[in-house]
Amino acid sequence: MGAGFKVGGKGLAAVADYDVITIGGKQYSVAQLLNKTIVAEKDVTLYPSLLNDNGKRLVKKGQVIGKLFSYLNPTSKNNPTGKVVLQFQVSVYGVVQNFWLKDDKAVSTTALSTQGTKTVAQEITAEKDEEEKKSDPIFYYAKKIGIPVLKWGAGLFIGGIVLKELFQLGKESLRKKAGLSGVKRRKSKSRSKQKSKTKK
């Protein structure tokens, strides 16, 4: 494996001891990626060597590329591509061979997520939550449970106001319609009386 780079800062013990690589625009610690089943986000080519294209293999979108076996960071002396490359062990006609993937954007991050793979940001958030829960559990649960309940209650309150306004508008509309129909009836009655008088 090539020399990696570390995540610095406070409260990052979950990821600080591992290399961090970018896959599909998202940062992952290598510990989260190794031995995970990698699925192709798009049609992609695998290479048995980083130095030439001999024996390359095509994997279609949605197909399994394989389990991540190793990787090289862009700074590695053994990496001529200048970007992250991922290595897989792939069975070809019953023979296990090592292949390299040169395009990290060809990895489905959705498939990684369904396997429980966390990004660096998610690992940091999870660790901070755990620290907060240990240091002040009352505040932690109040924030986690209380805020959503307040939002739910506020939504119900606002929804009730809106429904009340709509109900009032509906009532006023019905009153107006009823008033207009009453006026029309009175007018029609007066006209019929006038006609009966003229006939006499």
Instruction: Give the start-to-end residue ranges of the domains of the chain.
Output: 13-135, 137-200
pLDDT at 14: 45
pTM recorded for the entire structure = 0.57
Instruction: Give residue-wise pLDDT tens across range 95-114.
Output: 888 899 999 899 999 999 99
- DSSP string for the chain: --------STT-HHHHTS-EEEETTEEEEHHHHTTPEEEBSS-EEEES-SS--TT-EEE-TTSEEEEEEEEE-TT-TT-TTSS-EEEEEEEETTEEEEEEE--GGGB-HHHHHHTTPPPHHHHHHHHHHHHHHHH-HHHHHIIIIIHHHHHHHHHHHHHHHHHHHHHHHHHHHHHHHHHHHHHHHHHHHHHHHHHHHHH-
Chain-wide mean pLDDT for the chain? 74
pLDDT at 4: 37
**Confidence bin at 7 (pLDDT 50/70/90):** very low
**Confidence bin at 179 (pLDDT 50/70/90):** low
